[in-house]
Amino acid sequence: MADWNPALYRRYEDERTRPAIELLARVPLAQAREAVDLGCGPGNSTELIAARFPDAHVTGVDNSEAMLDSARVRLPGVPFELADIATWQPPVAPDLIYANAALQWVPDHPALFPRLFAQLAPGGVLAVQMPDNLDEPSHRLMREVAADGPWRDAIGDASKLRAPRRPIGEYYDMLAGSAALVDVWHTVYQHVMGSAEAIVEWVRATGLRPFIDPLSGSQREGFLAEYTRRIDAAYPARADGKRLLGFPRLFLIARRPA
């Protein structure tokens, strides 16, 4: 895929940061010495961690140079590192490994989650939030449009563009045998959006990227036009003319024994 677009991502920063705030609020740590923000993006979640734990050494990690450049401007006193979460290892065992809307892009969760958990310091916390929206119209329609048009071959197998969706109980089971605490929950946000085009703009910064990045200019225009048409039908205007974008998210908090 092409690199991420921080400016496009930040257009809905308040909505994207809300689950990050709620995840951090449930982290059962009074203090932290080392904290890592995995998949830090433009630094909005890193900023929250630094404010919550002002005495901690906080590091942001991402695989996008563009996102890291944006984060460094936002938080010039925080170190940001280029790395792949799938192989990342901390130089010092963190008290907090925090991953907001990042791990859904990383494969093999049954291996990934226990590996990250094992890297925590004693008493440390793994905190994860992931979109759980593959069955929502926004994402179901991506796959349907991908399979229906002249862009099908360029996109390839749409089912392989994101890590498989697993039931929440499986995430609990991945860590429950070795954790002092595992807390898992779902939240379905209802984001008020101005139009069908606004919904497309939202997902274009994230989930839609693997579908449109491989396309030529004319193919991309055709795909987006058809996708927008179907989004307009799937998310009808409400009483005030706006649309409600339902957005389920999965949360997990796991603490190592002290």
The mean pLDDT of 1-24, rounded to a whole number, is 71
Burial letters 27-37, b for 16+ CB under 10 A, else e: bebeebebbbb
pLDDT of residue 174: 97
Burial letters 184-205, b for 16+ CB under 10 A, else e: beeeeeebebebbebbbbbbbb
Q: What is the pLDDT of residues 113-156, one digit of tens each?
A: 999 999 999 999 999 999 999 899 999 999 999 998 899 999 98
Non-local (6+) Cβ contacts of 14 within 8 A are none
The mean pLDDT of 44-73, rounded to a whole number, is 95
- Band of pLDDT at residue 16, cut at 50, 70 and 90: confident
Q: What are the backbone dihedrals phi and psi of residue 87, each rounded to the nearest 5 degrees, phi first?
A: -125, 0
Task: Report whether pLDDT(13) > 90.
Answer: no
Q: How many residues does the chain have?
A: 258
Q: How many whole angstroms separate alpha carbon 10 and alpha carbon 39?
A: 15
- Band of pLDDT at residue 3, cut at 50, 70 and 90: very low
| Complete domains list, the chain, with CATH | 6-255 (3.40.50.150)
Sheet with 80-82, side-by-side order of all strands: 80-82, 57-62, 34-38, 96-100, 125-131, 243-255, 181-193
Q: What is the 3-state secondary structure (H, E, C) of 117-128?
A: HHCCCCCCEEEE
Q: How many whole angstroms separate alpha carbon 68 and alpha carbon 71?
A: 5
- Proportion of the chain in helix, strand, coil states, percent, rounded to 5: 45, 20, 35
Pair 53, 24: CB distance under 8 Å: no
